[in-house]
Amino acid sequence: MPATDFRIEEALAQWQPRHLVGGELLAQGAPFGVVDPSSGEVFAECPEAGVEELDCAVSSARVAWHGWKAQPLEKRRAVLHTFAAALEEAAPLIAPLLSREQGKPLSQAEMELKVSGTHIRHLSSLPLEDELLRKDDRGAVVLNWRPLGVVGGISPWNFPVALAMHKVAQALYTGNTLVLKPSPYTPLATLAVAEVAKDIFPAGVLNVLAGGNAFGAGMTAHAGIDKISFTGSVATGKRVMESASATLKRITLELGGNDAAIVLENADLDVTAAALARSAFYNCGQICMAVKRIYAHEAVHDELAVRIAEKARALKVGSAFEEGVEMGPVQNRMQYEKVLSLLDDSKSREGATVLAGGGALDRPGYFIAPTVITGLDDTAPLVAEEQFGPVIPIVRVRNAEEAVERANAGNLGLGGSIWGRDGARCAELARQLDCGTAWINRHGVNDSDVPFGGMKESGYGREHGVMGLHSYMELQAINAIPPGN
C-alpha cells in the first residue's frame, strides 16, 4: 500500500467525524458507513444527524444571525479570508480524506481544497453596496440589500468541499448564517473542514451536519430556514422547490446539465481535442458543466474523434493514491450502474462504434474506462440525457445550424460551447444556445465574479457574482420625500 494511503488509515483511526452545531463538535446519531469507491467497501463510519440536531442547528444559527448580520461587511470579509487561509493550510491533511471518500486522485483533491480557498476569498471580495436608484424632485430611492436570515445549504458528492464552500462564502459574506449538509456519500472531508472553521466563526454562524436525504427534506420544510441553496440532481431539485413552497422559502437550484460542445469545420483540432477530452474525463466526467455530448461538423468529425480517443486511452485510471493516476472511479454504485447501462444501450445501437474504452475495468471498485463512442443519434439516452460519467458521445452534424438546434433540444440548459477560428461566427452561435453559460473555445470555466446557473430544468436562479450574492439577500426599497417637503 502506498505511503499516503497508509497515513490516512492512521489518521482515520484517531479522527472521529462530528457535526458542527452551535460552535460545538457533536457525534450524535447512529453511524452509517462511508464507502471507498476504489474498493466498493465501507472504510469509515459517520454519525447521521436527525430532527433534533437539525432543530438545534437552526436555533443556533438564528441566535447567531443577529450578531453576525450586525458586523460591518469588512469584518465578515476579513473572517472569511482568515477561514480561506486556514482551509488552504489544512489542504494537505484533508485531501487524502476527500480522495478516499470521493475517489478523485490525490492531486485533484488537493486542488479542490486550494481552489475552495480561492473561491471563498474571491466571492467575499465582491462589492456589495446599497444602490442609489435615483435622486430627483420626486425623492430619493435607495435599494437596500439585506441578509435573509438562516440559509440551508445542500451539496452533492462530485466536488463535496468546493461546492459546499461556495455556499459558505456567499451565505456568510452577505450576513446570513448557514446550516450545511454534505452528501451522505461524501460527508467526511466537509466535516473535517467544519473543524477548521470551528474557532474562526462565532458559534452558530456555520453549522455542518452529516445527514441523509430525509435530513435534506427536513431542511427544505423547516420553518426556521429562510432560503435553500441546493446543488444536485434535477429530480431532487424539483422536490426541493415543492417542499420549499410551504414556507415560501427563497431557493437557488444548481442542477444537472447535458452540455453540448459544437465543433465547427475550421476549429483548431489540436486545442479542441485536448480541451474536450479534459472536460469530458476530469473528475471521471462527474461535473455538472462537463462536456457531455459533442456535435462535430462532418468535415472534422472523424479526425476529432480519433484524437479524443487517443487522449482517452492515454489517461491513467486508478485509485486516488496510485502514482501518476489521472482519473479515479465513479463515486458510487448507483451512478456506476447508471453509466454502464447507458453505455450498454449505446453499444447495442446500429452504427455505434467504440473508439476507446467501452466498459468497466476488471478490478474491484467502480472503475469505468474513459470511453469515446461515435455513430449515435439524439434518440440514444447517452446523448439525450446527462450521463455524469467518463463516457463521451461524438455526433456527426452537417452544419452549425443543425448542431445548435440539436444542442437546444431537451430539458437541460446549463452550459454549452462553440469551437472555431472565426470569433464573430462563434459569438453569433453562442448567443443562440439555450444555456446559462455559453463558452467560446473553452468549456467549464467558472469564475467567482460571473453569475452561474442553468436555463430550463438545469436550475433556478444564479450563484456567483454580485447577482449570486443578491440571491442570498432581500431587497428593500427606501423611498424618501424630496428635501424641503
- Give me the residues that bind ligand NAD (CB under 6 A), please: 154-158, 163, 181, 183-184, 212-213, 216-217, 220, 231-233, 236, 239-240, 254-257, 288, 386, 388, 414, 454, 459
Q: Output 304 or 330, the one with its CB closest to ligand NAD.
A: 330
Tell me how far apart the alpha carbons of residues 40 and 38 are, in angstroms, rounded to a whole number. 6
Which residue's CB atom is positioned nearest to ligand NAD? 216
Q: In DSSP terms, which residues pair with 289 in a beta bridge?
A: none
Q: How far is the CB of 8 from ligand NAD (least distance, A)?
A: 23
The three grid cell numbers given for residue 41, joined into one nine-digit string:
467497501
d(CA 156, CA 182): 6
Q: Which is nearer to ligand NAD, 56 or 253 (CB)?
A: 253
Listed in sequence order, the DSSP H helices in 18-50 are: none
Query: What's the CA gap between 248 and 358, in Å, rounded?
Result: 46
> Minimal distance in Å, beta carbon 399 to ligand NAD?
29
What angle in degrees, to the nearest 10, is found between the helix axes of 213-221 and 51-70?
A: 50
Fill in the DSSP letter of residue 433: S
Smallest gap from Cβ 383 to ligand NAD, in A, equals: 16
**Least distance to ligand NAD from the beta carbon of 160, Å?**
9
With 0-12 / 13-18 / 19 or more C-beta atoms within 10 angstroms meaning exposed / middle / buried, residue 13 is: exposed
Residue partners of 314: CB distance under 8 A and separation at least 6: none
Instruction: Specify the residue for cell string 467567482.
Output: 448
> Do residues 459 and 292 make contact, with C-beta atoms less than 8 angstroms apart?
no
To the nearest whole angstrom, how small is the minimum distance from the Cβ of residue 212 to ligand NAD? Answer: 6
- In a 13 Å sphere around the CA of 201, the CA atoms on its Cβ side amount to 39
Whole-angstrom Cα distance, residue 384 to residue 378? Answer: 6
Backbone angles phi, psi at 291, to 5 degrees: -65, 125
| Shortest Å distance, C-beta 371 to ligand NAD | 19
Kindly report the backbone phi and psi dihedral angles of residue 427, in degrees, each rounded to the nearest multiple of 5, phi listed first.
-65, -40
CB of 155 to ligand NAD, least distance (A): 6
Q: Which is nearer to ligand NAD, 208 or 400 (CB)?
A: 208
Minimum distance of ligand NAD from residue 246's CB (angstroms)? 13
For residue 160, give the 3-state DSSP assignment. helix
Cα 339 to chain centroid distance, Å, stands at 19
Please name the residues in contact with 375: beta carbons below 8 A apart, sequence gap of 6 or more: 349, 351, 352, 353
Nine cell digits for residue 284: 471521471
Residues 168, 200 contacting (CB under 8 angstroms)? no
Question: Catalytic residue numbers?
Answer: 254
| Amino acid residing at 354 | V
Nearer to ligand NAD, 157 or 173 (CB): 157
Cell of 120: 471563498
Which residue's CB is nearer to ligand NAD, number 277 or number 288?
288
Backbone angles phi and psi of 156, in degrees to 5: -100, -170
